[in-house]
Amino acid sequence: MVDDNELNKLRDAAVPAPGESAKARAFEAALRAYDQENISAVTQGSAGGLRLTERAQKLWSEIMKKKLIATPALAGLVALPIAGYATFHLLREQPPEFGGDEKITETLADKPATLKPAEPKQAPTELAKDKKADADVESRDANDVLATPVAPPKSESTAVGGVAQQNAQGRGVPADAPPTINQPESDTLQAYKPAPAPTGEFALDGTTTAPYASRVARVPAAESKLMAPQPTMAPADQVAPQEENRNRVQDFKTNPVHAALEDPVSTFSIDVDTASYSFVRRSLKEGSVPQADTVRVEEMINYFPYDWKGPDSASTPFNSTVSVMPTPWNEHTKLMHVAIKGFDIKPTEQPKANLVFLIDVSGSMDEPDKLPLLKSAFRLLVSKLKADDTISIVTYAGEAGTVLMPTRAAEKDKILNAIDNLTPGGSTAGEAGIKEAYKLAQQSFVKDGVNRVMLATDGDFNVGQSDDDDLKRLIEQERKSGVFLSVFGFGHDNLNDQMMQTIAQNGNGTAAYIDTLAEAEKVLVEDASSTLFPIAKDVKIQVEFNPNKVAEYRLIGYETRALNREDFNNDRVDAGDIGSGHSVTAIYEITPKGSGGEQIDPLRYGQATVNNGGVANADEYAFVKIRYKLPNEDVSKLITTPVTSANEVASFDQASTDQRFSVAVAAFGQKLRDEDATAKFGYDKIMEIATAARGADPFGYRSEFLSLVRLASALGGNR
């Protein structure tokens, strides 16, 4: 037996202090016991327990063993909850970056730390300093919970710049992604910033990690977010790259102010094209201010139908009306408004039409707003034609081919099937297509009728003659046969507007840009008569200003239609064409002599005089001359109109509704081009004029214009 005295001595003796090594061994043993009890021995990075498929198989096996399913019908009923059970576990196990919402409970303290490799010293930029400061704060927070690391076993993964490629691939990051952890930031790395790689046990980069003791301290749950993949963020000072603008548009300078004494004559070709307005509309509706050179003011003005006074008979193809009114954006100047209205042919008197649809089916047309829209547009046109009109279809991609030989419009189904079967693909042999279309038009030529090639394309010619001048010469040669050519542009980001304008102007035709089915209906249905049936060709305008009444003038728009003074009387010089019922508007801003608004200093010497010592027709502002040819003639005819005070209105409000609305459109176009004349004339003033002059608007074109003015104002276009 043990002596009680000995026991009493032991009881009363002081307990010896534990040694440091003993405490460490005990603590390590406790941690291992805890891990073995609470953590499954599974492969690193994998969830414990059975896989999802194994769970489903086990559940199904148990159900079958217990014979819970006796019939196939019951099997179907049971299968649904099993599928739901499987989906539930799939969502639970899915990591956050793939849509799972399971919270991450592991923290920096739960994982071994990673030693940072030495970084090269360099002078930090301001951005680098800010990033370094943020990194230092995060590093200090992590170091508060991490113990001093010791050497770990060597990893099997190969580290690149401190980031394991194996681990990066596991997060969905490309294996060749540039390293971002513990590396100096460069301009190249700033453009690509994947989520931070995990550290510690999951680093797999062969760096030093801490033992179990590093997990003593626990960080707050909020800090566990540091372990979650972070979204890629571009630096605040880095601007996203802009998409390349591949549209080809002719650049031009705004018409200058001319001194009437030095240069009293202005000559230009009329323009009935509307492509520019549609292009501007699309740009604004897509949230961007249009490029200045896409804004041709005359095409914006002439987009709208106006109720100008037309001729009384077909013997005179058009009538001109000239008015003078105050300028709303300059109190020192006036506007000389020239309006031309073509004779409107009655549907019963319209000549027979021979139309060749020349359709671009190249690979560049494989866009929703190109070939599919084109097919819908031409279907609308087919429904507008008369039964005895003729339609042919030529397509071109790598090479040209005839899809439909000349077919009467009465065979509507045959024509529509040919259109519906068009598919895109290949390069763009535009030259070959044009030649084939003219050849087909000649085969079914209608004497005293309408013979027209209707080219539908994005203008991306890249096979054969693709130079604008070469195409111009080709079209000039072909038009002598009496076949006109019109161009309809589709799509954006690859539109060759310059080429379209070139071949339309030289093919005795028009150019329109179709961006919506509604625009297709306007051009090919509502305006079909003016689009298809010409009443005059090579129409030129020449205005001579009286320097005794007008000090200065400038033509608003028509920059790409300017002609030399001597071209007016030269019938060999091509000019624009007018279709049935077409309206054409030209506006000059003139500075009356002595008004105080002159921008050009007067000459010290010289005065326009005649033999009697005075100025002839001194009461006239100007003399307007218009030359034109009938569609089947080669000799021009002349119409003249003197402009006097009888053509003047006292105030802008006294001008007609159509005149005031056209002036509002002219102001809007100049504003978008950032011209000096309207620099101080705000969008609110334009809106005020257009709203008051909206008038009858059966198709909603003018209401849409008001919305475009609001959009331009909101976008801050050339304020």
11-20, 47-56, 176-185, 342-351: least confident range: 176-185
Neighbours of 374 (CB within 10 A): 25
Mean residue pLDDT across the chain: 76
- Specify whether the CB–CB gap between 425 and 364 falls below 8 A: no
Specify whether the CB–CB gap between 551 and 595 falls below 8 A. yes
Any bridge partners for residue 513, and if so which? 489
Joined together, the tokens standing for residue 114 give 């990673």
State both tokens at 33.
């016991």
Query: What pLDDT score does 362 carry?
Result: 87
pLDDT for the residue numbered 626: 97
For 293-317, what is each residue's pLDDT tens digit?
Answer: 999 999 999 999 999 999 988 788 9
Mean pLDDT of 30-44: 61
Largest CA distance in the chain: 160
Q: Mind listing the pLDDT tens digit for each residue in 432-460? A: 888 899 999 999 999 989 999 999 988 76
CA–CA gap between residue 622 and residue 547 (Å, rounded): 9
The angle formed by the CA atoms of residues 566, 567 and 573, to the nearest 5 degrees, is 155
What is the pLDDT confidence band of residue 430, given thresholds at 50, 70 and 90?
low
Cα atoms in the Cβ-side hemisphere of radius 13 Å centred on 33: 6
Predicted confidence band of residue 635 (pLDDT cuts 50, 70, 90): very high
**Residue 675 in contact with residue 701, Cβ under 8 Å?**
no
Return d(Cα 336, Cα 543) in angstroms, integer.
Answer: 11
Is pLDDT of 64 > 60?
A: no
Which residues sit opposite 589 in a β-bridge?
A: 335, 554
Length of the chain as a residue count: 719
Please state, in angstroms and rounded to a whole number, the distance separating the CA atoms of residues 718 and 668: 11
Question: Pick from 537, 469, 487: which is nearest to 508 by CA?
Answer: 537
Tokens coding 620: 């006239």
CA distances, 575 to each of 250, 343, 498, 564, 581 (Å): 18, 19, 17, 12, 18
366-370, 455-459, 557-561, 610-614, range with the lowest pLDDT: 610-614
Least confident of 238-247, 365-374, 441-450: 238-247
Domains of the chain: 264-345+535-598+616-715 (2.60.40.1230), 347-532 (3.40.50.410)
Burial of 451 (0-12, 13-18, 19+ CB in 10 A): buried
Query: Which segments within 448-575 are labelled E, that is strand?
Result: 450-457, 484-490, 511-514, 534-545, 550-556
Span 504-555, pLDDT tens digits: 888 888 899 999 999 999 999 999 888 889 999 999 999 999 999 999 999 9
Q: Are strands 353-360 and 390-396 parallel, antiparallel or unpaired?
A: parallel
As a whole number of angstroms, the distance between CA 61 and CA 590 comes to 95
For residues 251 and 718, the model is more confident at: 251
Lowest-confidence range among 117-126, 276-285, 481-490, 619-628?
117-126
What is the phi/psi pair of residue 30, to 5°? -65, -40
**What pLDDT does 297 receive?**
98
Question: How sure is the predictor about 349, in pLDDT bands with cuts at 50, 70 and 90?
Answer: confident
List, in order, residues 6 or more apart from 678 with CB less than 8 Å away: 329, 667, 670, 671
